Amino acid sequence: MLSTHVKMERTYLNAWKTFMERTENIPSVISKMLSTGPVTLEDLYSALRALNVTRFQATEIRDEIGR
């Protein structure tokens, strides 16, 4: 039997792996959003929040949002 600490650590690491797999396309989605049609100020704030939450640097996208 594994100790509770080992199970907790494995669960924690699996959660980060799942999170990264499900958010890996966030920068490309935001980039597409910025290049198509009109973008509101609210859209830009949402895009920045998404990048911050998912911890992507994506400096090109952040620079584009800042313009």
Residues 62, 48: Cα–Cα separation, whole Å: 7
Which tokens is 52 given? Answer: 């911050």
In a domain? residue 41: yes
Summarize pLDDT for 8-59 with one digit per residue, the tens. 788 888 888 998 888 888 888 888 888 887 888 888 888 888 888 887 788 8
In a domain? residue 20: no
In a domain? residue 3: no
In a domain? residue 30: yes
Residues 13, 32: Cα–Cα separation, whole Å: 30
In a domain? residue 16: no
Segments forming the whole domain that contains residue 29: 25-67
**Which has the higher per-residue pLDDT, 7 or 47?**
47
Contacts of 62 (CB under 8 A, 6+ apart): 48, 51
In a domain? residue 31: yes
The helix (run of H) or strand (run of E) holding residue 28 is helix 26-35
CB 30 within 8 A of CB 47: yes
Confidence of residue 2 (pLDDT cuts 50, 70, 90): low
Q: Tally the domains of the chain.
A: 1
**Which has the higher per-residue pLDDT, 6 or 63?**
63
Whether the predicted pLDDT of 1 surpasses 70: no
